[in-house]
Structure 1
Amino acid sequence: MILEIASLQVRPGQAAAFEAAFLQAQAIIASMPGYLGHELQRCLERDDHYMLLVRWRSVQDHEVGFRTSAEYQQWRALLHHFYDPFPTVLHYEAAAGPGLAPAPAGR
């Protein structure tokens, strides 16, 4: 499992409209192969700032399966006009935690 983390800065004054659009858009991402779950977090210290966390089976499920799909074009139409600047999106894998061995040194 990998975790996609997207740092989202929404245009000032557009938070309510963004959240309403996200309610629609989340059904799109949830229907994609390899999707395992997501959450949208609103920042308490920075107005109009969110973190989107999406769990995928693999990076390919996100980067190829979702981003090259027709469904992504719907996602994009619903959400991308809210962002300024465009989000930074990175992928993470577990390095340590309950039930996990530490990652090998030198990775």
Structure 2
Amino acid sequence: MILEVTILNIKAGLSDEFEINFQKAKKIISSIKGYILHQLKKCIEKENKHILLVNWETIEDHEIGFRKTGEYQEWKALLHHFNDPFSAVKAL
């Protein structure tokens, strides 16, 4: 199993809108082959910071099965414009 870890730095004042869009986006990621589960946590110390944890069956499911799909383009359109700076994704 692979754990994808992403620290999300959301632009000031947009956390609520981000969380609304994430409700739509989670339906996309959960439909992808190899997806196991995810958690989105909001930082209690820094207002505009979140952490996203996603469990995948394999590294290929994470890097290819999701990121090389049209569904990933939908995910990006819903969420990526909230990040500043863009978040680094790490697989453990």
**Alpha-carbon distance in structure 1 between the residues aligned to 2:49 and 2:12:** 9
**Alpha-carbon distance in structure 2 between the residues aligned to 1:2 and 1:62:** 8
> Could you tell me which amino acid in structure 1 is paired with residue 41 of structure 2?
Q
Q: TM-score, normalised by structure 1?
A: 0.85
**Alpha-carbon distance in structure 1 between the residues aligned to 2:86 and 2:37:** 23
Matched residue count: 92
Instruction: Name the SS for the 1:51 alignment partner.
Output: strand
Unmatched runs of 5 consecutive residues or more in structure 1: 93-107
**Alpha-carbon distance in structure 2 between the residues aligned to 1:33 and 1:74:** 16
Say yes or no: does 1:65 pair with 2:65.
yes
Instruction: Measure how far apart 1:25 and its partner are.
Output: 0.1
Instruction: Name the SS for the 1:31 alignment partner.
Output: coil
Unmatched runs of 5 consecutive residues or more in structure 2: none
> Could you tell me which amino acid in structure 2 is paired with residue 60 of structure 1?
E
Per-residue Cα deviation, 1:39-75 (whole angstroms, up to 9, x for no partner): 1000011111000000000111011010000000000
Q: Please list every run of at least 4 consecutive aligned residues from structure 1 whose deviation after the TM superposition is greater than 2 angstroms.
A: none
Q: RMSD across aligned C-alpha pairs, in angstroms?
A: 0.4
Larger radius of gyration: 1
Q: TM-score, normalised by structure 2?
A: 0.99
Match of 1:34 in 2: 34
Question: 1 or 2 for the larger relative contact order (CA 8 Å, sep ≥6)?
Answer: 2
Match of 1:49 in 2: 49
Instruction: Measure how far apart 1:17 and its partner are.
Output: 0.1
User: Identity, % of aligned pairs?
Assistant: 47
**Alpha-carbon distance in structure 1 between the residues aligned to 2:7 and 2:60:** 20
Structure with the higher helix share, 1 or 2? 2
> Could you tell me which amino acid in structure 2 is paired with residue 41 of structure 1?
K
